[in-house]
Structures are given as C-alpha cells and as structure tokens.
C-alpha cells in the first residue's frame, strides 16, 4: 500500500479538493464523447434544469411586469396576435399542421389545425380554442427553452417555463439536446400518425417527395410531396400520401374555419425557410452545449495540472463541429428545387427578408428564391442569428475561419456548390455585416 506523506488539509480545503477532483473525473468522461450529442445540456456547466433562463421571453416577462407591454385577449385567437407583435414574429410566417404530433394533440385535427409561427430565435404554436399558447425561445446558455402562456383573459399574462417539453424536444429525435422537431408523417383521416408507416424528420437535405406529411401546404409548388393529404394503402399494401395543390387556405374551407387564422396561407416558402432554420438552429445548439462542456472539462483539468490551453481532443472536436456547421450554413447537399415551379408568398418573403441585415448593396441572406434553391444567396441567414453569436468563441472563430476559406478563397467542403459570383457576393456581405468575419 502506498503511503501519502502530504500534510493534512484543513477541512474546508479538503472539501474543495474533493469537489474539484470529482468534477475533473466527471468532466473527463466528456472528452471521449462522439460528435453526436449525449445530453450535454444536463452536465456542467449548463445544468439545464437548475439554470436560470435569459432570452427574449424572460425579457418580455420583465416588460409585462413593468407594464410596458400588454397582451390582451382578442376574439378566437386570444393573446396570439399580441404575443406575435411583442416578439416581432410575422403573422405571415404561419404554417398549419393537422397531424396529432404535439403537446395539445387532443385539440388538433383536419378540422382544427395547429398554427406555427417563427422569427430568427422564437417559435410560437397555437390551436384555436386551446387553453394555452406554446413558445420556444433560443437561449444563449441553455440553447432552447420552452414556455406556455395561458389564454384565459381573467389570468395575468405570464409566460411560464415548462421543462416537461424536453420529453419530446430533448430526446433521441433531437440528439438528446433541447431542439425543434419537424416531422413528416403518414396521417390518417383523424390526423393520427400511422406508426407502422414510419415518419421522416425533415431537414434542409430531406427529399422533397418525403416532406409535409400531416401539414397544409399553400402556394406554387409542382412535383410530389405528402402535404394536404391523408394516408392510404396502395395496391401493394404500402402506405402513401398523395399531396395535392392548394393556392391558399380557402381550399380547406370545408374542413375548418379558415377565417379563424391570422392569415390565409400555410406557405411553401415559409415551410422551407423554417426547415433550413431548424436544421441550423438545432446544430448550433447541440455543438455549443457540447463544446462548453469540453471547455469546462479542460479548465478543470488545467487547474489540476497547471497546463493551459485547449486539449488536443477538444481541439479536434471543435474543428470537426466547425466543419459541420460551416457546411450546413452553406447548404451542403441541399435538396434541389429545379423544375418545381415554386414561389413564396410575397408578404411572407418580404417579412422574412426584413428580419436579417442588409449590406450597402441591398443584399440580405433572407431573400427567398425557390427557383433553384431556397435562398438567392446560398448561405443560411442563421449566420446572423443570436444562436450563432452565442456559440463559444473558440467554436465561433473556427466556423468563421472555415467560411473565410470557402468564400474568400473558393475552397469548399464536400457537398457545397456555388458560382463565383455568389461566393464573392457572400464574402462581401459577411465582411460588411458579420462581426469577426
């Protein structure tokens, strides 16, 4: 048995040393983590369920308490429209889903679709007649936080945090981190997903023919998709959904009260803008939470070893995540839109583009195209989002360097394609609008 000749530590120092050692051992386990997330939001330093939230919703609650803003309940929509205005979320971002795939599934059907609205860092869900609104907000520390807002006009409007949402939004489908879910299912006539038929988690890379099962899709779009229809069996016994065209929500006037909804669209442009945003947002959240855990582990190890700097393992993971983020921001392997005759609703297109910075040439990454690809310039506007700005500096700097190499020098990662004119326009735009680029 080895003998320790170190002088005994005072009680307080001993407790501190034991705590530090335990933290080192706990964090050391994170160093071997793969790039897929493994509940990093639950670990030090995030500790999701214990940590205080700080985001657009907490700021709104403070304004409500101070009497600076009101959320009156008006008509069938209750507090919805006032909430959207307070959060600067455009009503034209409305998308309708009739599959029973959310918290208030008992209220959702073809006769009562759920409406979703989104801004750069906030997402709002509403079902006519429901007792509450559902909200998700990006959070610099926690990644994404979920809230509810009561619709009862007799109750004071307070958005309450609801971590129970993580049962769906923090599991396997979101890589075990707080995230958003876009599902394309095979809905039956009542809106229930047919589990035996399977489902698709939709990203910017998903084949267009597999999208929008259980969703309403309005506007110009040619070619196969699963929107607007219910599942039937073909001659071989396989489930399929035959999508159909719909100019606007009036095509569904026999199914539900179209006039109860803020706008008469569930626009294909909004759907595709949302899909790319959720793809990027989920990735930024997952990567940020993982890197913060690794950096905290490095700091604890350095405190014990007195060896400063990022560990080689951490540096390699940061580099791989930066490559993945940069590739996704540049729409690597984006599903092509050629020959789809797609066009976004003009009101939504204008509102969406206005939410992102413009350079002196008038360029905005939020300008929708939908002829060959979703955006005019092949770079996600999420590069200007709060989630991007909130990344750990080590990760953000690594992503910016990869963007500079791609856009400044023309050295693209696999799956990314753009013309020289597009590359130079993006390079100039980021130099003018993105701090650190």
Task: Kindly report, residue by residue over 153-210, the tens digit of the pLDDT.
Answer: 999 999 999 999 999 999 999 999 999 999 999 999 999 999 999 999 999 999 999 9
More confident call, 24 vs 66: 66
With CA atoms as reference, report the closest residue to 376 among 364, 359, 387.
364
Question: Which band of pLDDT confidence, cut at 50, 70 and 90, is reported for residue 390?
Answer: very high
Of the listed ranges 5-14, 103-112, 164-173, 272-281, the one predicted with least confidence: 5-14
**What is the end-to-end Cα distance of the chain in Å, rounded?**
57
Cα–Cα distance between 33 and 1 in angstroms, integer?
34
Single out the residue of 229, 168, 226 nearest to residue 199, CA to CA.
226
**pTM for the whole structure:** 0.91
Grade residue 21 by pLDDT with cuts at 50, 70 and 90: very low
CA angle 11/12/18 to nearest 5° reads 90
> Which residue in 170, 149, 146 sits closest to 159, CA to CA?
149
- Listed in sequence order, the residues at least 6 apart from 184 whose beta carbon sits closer than 8 Å to its beta carbon are 199, 200, 201, 202, 206, 210, 211, 212, 213, 214, 215, 226
């Amino acid at each position: 048995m080895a003998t320790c000749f170190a002088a005994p530590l005072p009680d307080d120092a001993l407790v501190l040393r034991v705590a530090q050692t335990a933290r080192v051992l706990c964090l050391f386990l994170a160093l071997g983590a793969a790039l897929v997330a493994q509940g990093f939001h639950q670990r030090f330093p995030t500790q999701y369920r214990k940590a205080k939230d700080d985001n657009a919703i907490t700021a709104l609650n403070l304004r409500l308490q101070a009497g600076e803003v009101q959320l009156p309940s008006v008509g069938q929509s209750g507090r919805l429209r006032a909430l959207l205005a307070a959060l600067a979320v455009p009503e034209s971002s409305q998308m309708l889903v009739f599959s029973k795939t959310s918290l208030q599934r008992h209220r959702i059907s073809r006769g009562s679709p759920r409406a979703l609205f989104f801004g750069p860092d906030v997402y709002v869900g509403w079902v006519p007649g429901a007792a509450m609104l559902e909200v998700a907000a990006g959070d610099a520390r926690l990644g994404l936080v979920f809230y509810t807002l009561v619709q009862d006009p007799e109750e004071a409007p307070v958005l309450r945090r609801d971590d129970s949402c993580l049962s769906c939004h923090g599991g396997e489908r979101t890589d075990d981190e707080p995230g958003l879910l876009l599902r394309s299912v095979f809905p039956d006539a009542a809106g229930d997903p047919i589990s035996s038929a399977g489902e698709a988690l939709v990203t910017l890379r998903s084949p267009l023919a597999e999208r929008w099962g259980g969703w309403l899709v309005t506007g110009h779009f040619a070619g196969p998709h699963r929107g607007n229809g219910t599942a039937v069996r073909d001659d071989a016994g396989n489930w399929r959904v035959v999508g159909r065209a719909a100019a606007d929500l009036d095509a569904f006037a026999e199914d539900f009260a179209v006039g109860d909804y803020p706008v008469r669209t569930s626009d294909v442009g909004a759907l595709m803008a949302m899909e790319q945003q959720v793809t990027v947002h989920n990735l930024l959240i997952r990567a940020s939470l993982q890197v913060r855990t690794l950096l905290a582990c490095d700091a604890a190890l350095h405190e014990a070893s007195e060896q400063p700097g990022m560990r080689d393992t951490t540096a390699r993971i940061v580099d791989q995540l930066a490559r993945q983020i940069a590739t996704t921001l540049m729409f690597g392997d984006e599903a092509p839109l050629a020959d789809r005759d797609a066009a976004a609703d003009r009101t939504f297109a204008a509102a969406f583009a206005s939410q992102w910075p413009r350079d002196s040439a008038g360029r905005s990454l939020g300008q929708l195209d939908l002829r060959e690809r979703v955006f005019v310039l092949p770079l996600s506007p999420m590069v200007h989002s709060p989630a991007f700005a909130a990344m750990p500096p080590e990760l953000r700097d690594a992503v910016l360097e990869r963007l500079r190499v791609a856009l400044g020098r023309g050295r693209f990662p696999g799956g990314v394609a753009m013309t020289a004119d597009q590359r130079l326009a993006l390079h100039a735009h980021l130099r003018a609008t993105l701090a650190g680029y």
